[in-house]
Amino acid sequence: MKTIFLVDDSATILLSISGVLTKAGYAVEKAPSALDALKKFQTGVKVDLLITDLNMPGMNGIDFIKEVRKLPAYRFLPILFLTTESQQSKKAEAKAAGASGWIVKPASAEELLNTIKLVIR
Amino acid sequence: MDEITSVFVTESREQIAALESALLQLENSPRDDDTLNAIFRSAHTIKGGAGVIECGYIVAFTHVVENLLDRLREHAINADADLIALLLGCADHIGNLLGVLESGAAGPDANLAADGDALLARLQRDWLSDEGSRAGLPSVAPVQLEASGGGAVESDCWHISVRFGADVLRNGMDPLSFLRYLGSIGHIVHLETLADAMPEAAEMDPETCYLGFEISFASGADKAAIERVFDFVRDECTLNILPPHSRLSDYIALINTLPEDSMRLGEILVRIGALTQGELEDGLRQQTAVPADEVESATAPAAAPQPIGEILVERKVVQSELVDAAIARQKQVTEKKAAEARLIRIQADKLDRLIDLVGELVIAGASVNLLAGRTGVGELIEATSLTGRLVESIRDAALQLRMVQIGETFNRFHRVVRDTSREMGKEIELSVSGGDTELDKSMVEKIGDPLMHLVRNAMDHGLELPAVREASGKPARGRLELNAFHDSGSIVIEVADDGAGLNRERILAKAVERGLVQPGQSLSDAEVYNLIFEPGFSTAEKVTNISGRGVGMDVVRRNIQGLRGSVDVSSEPGKGSRFAIRLPLTLAIIDGFLVGVGNAAYVIPLDSVVECIELGVDGSVRDYVNLRGEVLPLVRLRQLFGMAGEPPGRQNVVVVQYAGNKSGIVVDQLMGEFQTVIKPLGNLFRNIRGIGGSTILGSGEVALILDVQALVQRCASREAQRAEGADAGRALLAAAAT
């Protein structure tokens, strides 16, 4: 089973996305902040895909992606970030930080799963 | 309400609180990026969540607010007092909309909708009017080839030509996954892999992607859908998509654009069926025949991708600077906010369950201790006492989990003080300290109203108008303090002002007028000041809409007593007053007084117990006794709870007090005080009057905890019934004295 790691400061988003993913047969790990997530990554959790919000209090998503990319085990980990149409400029910044792609919020379950299929089997 | 909606509502309320306090901060530092970002983020999170639960009316409203905040964040407009007031209004409106969502209504009613529209109209008119000119953010022009002259080729397949960027693998993308995904929206008729960019084995970096593909693709999907497949890599790869039956010149242009050798590419295109050999030769011949400038125009759109590399480099340079600056900035922010982020959200029910279990553990531990003591085995006693200590630590730690900081409650007052002081024309500065003091969550929820009352009271009655203050030699700006701290097992919350202070004479006069004290009675200052907590006492000369609406300080005291707390006031004329609320740290554990009736044990909360007396002969026939000249109504538990059996010869009375009223509870035995964990009653028993909860004794027996408030009120109403029609009070007293 593929494990997807979700990071978002919004409990609503965490709950809704993890619901869709669990139903689709993925194992889901969640963290409410980048720092929490990073701690888990530093202990070497098994992750097949990371989905993170960009705009979070504490460490923001871009720095978080950079930190994850620095960890040898996750150099090639697919990373998607959550964004909105109004944040076009963030895309380039996040890509430069090492993100693989993005999910535009709010996404339907189908859009979400399709995007995930783009990056993991 | 389903789980996700309730999570959304809770979360959004928190976001609104954060939004409000950030907006207030903005008043002092209107251009602070951190604050602006925090404000934007709050609105953004609410909108995002509302989108997820498909609550259209919240999305629509928040969207406009977010647009404005975005402009604010970009410093396109400045936050002045008007705008902040407007945004505070918007935050309130979002709060109201959440209320609508909670109530389960389909949408806001006409009034609320009109409020929202009015706010939006103001936002649009005053702050977003030139929004139209900003519409359409610059977006990266898609790399594509348009048909531009020459005959169409025969192939009815799409032709996709892609050269992946070197960093694709390093960015966590697998080129194969794109091809696989492409396969899900159509049929890959033919695919040719180009490894021309691959260097010598010695120089090859296994982490770099050197591959390109020429794909012949049959699909009913439109161009946008095919482009979308490559969305994630479009900026760093060279992507050309030719629709079926594209013009020959487009293919030729493509061949010329791509880095590989033209002849070889041509062959590949032929091989994958994009072009026939004839078409290829035709095309190449045409190209050489056409004058250079025409080639230029024919291939102009195709030439567009050429500078992409440069653009990319340029863009990357810009980004790296941006990113560096961002890192430096974010590092500071991260350090500052690290503490804030180290939180987990759990349902209160789970905590309650844990505390419940810990309560059981405490009780079970007590009985183990008891049994171990009986055996007289030293080692066993030692082991159990160690367990006992650990259990106590666990209990304390578990109770600690329910503790929350009072800061959030305090922060609400910034807004209240700001709005109210303007309304009253007073200048008031609120200073908050001890916001990190922790107390039980349920207590925090219930202390808000009494605290609000005290704050409004201080602003209305305590602090004077600026002119009055200056006349008495004080700074025009009044000072209001909220402070919290721990003090010997309880928490103290203070509301202090540097206003006029309480007027002893006026209070005394009023108290005499109301019959609360006898004229000529000598009272200490503290006693006089505490008269303001008596029911029906209000010294405000006029009723303002801020405070003094008749629901006076007695309600404040009653609410606080309901939390097993107390409130005191101290004051100095001309210097100000200080209200101190004292609360127990938790509602889950109480000091109880254990009594027995028949075979059953009951617990009376110790802080309501005044004294214990023996029931005299007169009390065995009447429902009241004479307690030092006062009528003390009695509650006979044996009678009240319908217990079988005769009372013993000697009965005791526990004198309890609640909100100034005393009653005597008649019991068989007094068994002393002990600390106990309150366990709520099941639903079935929740409505039983006189019982507030239960607890389990060390022996395993269940003891019911008496609800003193209900018992005292029961007595008071019984007395009132008797007093009907006659001056029964005096009659009772006379009767009791005989």
Q: State the CATH number of the domain containing residue B52.
A: 1.20.120.160
Query: If residue B223 lies in a helix (H) or strand (E), which one and from where to where?
Result: helix B223-229
Residues B330 and B445 in one domain: no
> Helix B277-289 and helix B262-271: axis angle, to 10°?
150
Q: pLDDT value at position B692?
A: 79
User: Do the domain assignments include residue B434?
Assistant: yes
B478-487 and B428-433: which strand pairing?
parallel
B55 touches chain A (CB under 8 A): no
Element (H, E) at B589: strand B589-597
Number of domains in chain A: 1
Where residue B434 falls (left for φ over 0; alpha for ψ -120 to 50; beta otherwise) is left
Same domain, B197 and B281: yes
Rounded to whole angstroms, the Cα distance separating A79 from B564 reads 53
Residues B172 and B73 in one domain: no
Asked if the C-beta of B230 comes within 8 angstroms of chain A's C-beta atoms, the answer is: no
Please tell me the distance from the alpha carbon of residue B84 to that of residue B494, in angstroms, as a whole number: 29
Residues in chain B with pLDDT values less than 70: 1, 129-152, 154, 263, 283-342, 488-489, 536, 538-551, 585-589, 617-620, 659-660, 686, 698, 719-738
Q: How far is CA B360 from CA B351, B398, B638, B681, B696, in A?
A: 14, 13, 28, 14, 8
How far are the Cα atoms of B77, B87, B480 from residue B73, in angstroms, in the given order?
8, 14, 32
Name the residue of chain B whose CA is nearest to A72's CA.
Answer: B170
Q: Taking the CB of residue B420, how many other CB atoms lie within 10 A of it?
A: 19
In chain B, what residues touch A97 (CB-CB under 8 Å)?
A: 323
pLDDT of residue B578: 92
- The pLDDT assigned to A66 comes to 92
Q: Is beta strand B490-497 parallel, antiparallel or unpaired with respect to B478-487? A: antiparallel
> Do B241 and B227 form a contact (C-beta atoms < 8 A)?
yes
Together in a domain, B491 and B444: yes
* Boundary (domain end) residue, out of B584, B610, B632: B584
Asked which of B549, B584, B619 is the last residue of a domain, the reply is: B584
Q: Does B345 touch chain A (CB under 8 A)?
A: yes
Other residues' Cβ atoms within 10 Å of the Cβ of residue B117: 11
In this structure, what are the phi and psi dihedrals at residue B680, rounded to the nearest 5 degrees? -65, 155
Backbone angles phi, psi at B589, to 5 degrees: -125, 135
Rounded CA gap, B247 and B112, in Å? 59
B177–A119: do the CB atoms touch at under 8 Å? yes
Quote the minimal CA–CA distance from B327 to chain A in Å.
7
Of the candidates B40, B45, B327, which has its C-beta nearest A63's C-beta? B327
CB within 8 Å: A57 and B172: no
Q: Where are the beta strands (DSSP E) in B505-588?
A: 566-572, 576-584
Q: Does B545 touch chain A (CB under 8 A)?
A: no
- Same-domain check for residues B643 and B633: yes
Residue A71 has pLDDT above 70, yes or no: yes
E strands of chain A, at which residues? Answer: 3-7, 27-31, 49-53, 79-83, 101-104
Residue B145 to residue B155: CA distance in whole angstroms: 17
- pLDDT digit string, tens, across residues B426-445: 888 888 888 888 888 878 88
Asked if B341's CB is within 8 angstroms of A58's CB, the reply is: yes
Residue with tokens 């025969």: B154
Helices and strands (H, E) in chain B, number of each type: 25, 21
Q: Smallest Cβ distance to A93: which of B139, B319, B334?
A: B319
**Residues B465, B426 contacting (CB under 8 angstroms):** yes
Residue B568 lies in a domain: yes
- Which domain covers residue A58, as residue numbers? 3-119
What stretch of H or E contains B657? Answer: strand B652-658
CB B592 within 8 A of CB B696: no
Say if residue B301 is in the same domain as residue B312: no
Is A15 close to B343, i.e. CB distance below 8 A? no
Could you tell me whether strands B576-584 and B661-667 are parallel, antiparallel, or unpaired per DSSP bridges?
Answer: unpaired
Residue A63's domain is classified under what CATH number?
3.40.50.2300
3-state SS class at B445: helix
Please, are residues A113 and B164 in contact by the beta-carbon 8 Å criterion? Answer: no
CA-to-CA separations, B148 to A18, B249, B275, B609, in angstroms, rounded: 48, 7, 17, 96
CA distances from residue B187 to A121, B179, B428 in whole angstroms, order as listed? 18, 10, 72
User: How many Cβ atoms from other residues are within 10 Å of residue B151's Cβ?
Assistant: 13
- Residue B363 forms part of a structural domain: yes
Residues B438 and B480 in one domain: yes
Q: Select the residue of A77, A86, A117 nearest B172 (Cβ to Cβ).
A: A77
Enumerate the residues of chain B whose CB falls inside 8 A of the CB of residue A86: 66, 70, 137
| Nearest CB partner across the interface for A76, out of B8, B172, B181 | B172
- pTM surpassing 0.80? no
Across B120-130, b (16+ Cβ under 10 Å) vs e yields bebbeeebbee
Alpha-helical regions (H) of B593-738? 637-640, 708-723, 728-737
Asked if B118 and B179 sit in the same domain, the reply is no
E strand map for B416-559: 428-433, 438-440, 478-487, 490-497
Interface test with A, best of B45, B178, B319, B344 (most A CBs within 10 A): B45
Domain end position, chosen among B551, B584, B617: B584
Which residues on chain A are in Cβ contact (under 8 Å) with B330? Answer: 59-60, 62-63
**CB proximity B229 to A under 8 Å:** yes
C-alpha span between B3 and A12 (Å, rounded): 9
Question: Tokens in use for B501?
Answer: 């202070």
Examine residue B475 and say whether the peptide bond preceding it is cis (omega within 30 degrees of 0): no
What is the number of structural domains in chain B? 6
**What one-character DSSP code corresponds to residue B124?**
I
Q: Are residues B463 and B577 in the same domain?
A: yes
Q: The complex's ipTM? A: 0.78
Q: State which residues form the domain around B355.
A: 348-402
Strand B630-636 vs strand B238-242: parallel, antiparallel, or unpaired? unpaired
Residues B480 and B601 both lie in one domain: no
Whether residues B577 and B602 share a domain: the answer is: no
Q: Which long-range contacts (CB under 8 A, 24 or more apart) does B83-92 make?
A: B83/B127, B84/B23, B84/B24, B84/B26, B84/B27, B86/B119, B86/B122, B86/B123, B86/B126, B86/B127, B87/B23, B87/B39, B88/B20, B88/B23, B88/B415, B89/B119, B90/B61, B90/B65, B90/B119, B90/B123, B91/B16, B91/B19, B91/B20, B91/B23
A55 and B326 in contact by Cβ < 8 A?
no
**Residue B151 domain-assigned?**
no
Contact assessment for residue B434 and residue B485, using Cβ atoms and an 8 Å cutoff: yes
Helix axes B81-103, B3-28, angle to 10 degrees: 170
B394 and B536 within one domain: no
State the best of B52, B54, B164 to mutate against chain A, taking most chain A CBs within 10 Å.
Answer: B52
Whose tokens are 């009023």? That residue is B510
Residue A79 and residue B343: Cβ atoms within 8 Å?
Answer: no
- Report which of B431, B433, B429 is spatially closest to residue B463, judged by C-alpha positions: B429
Tell whether B150 is covered by a domain. Answer: no
Q: Which residues of B touch A34 (CB under 8 A)?
A: 341
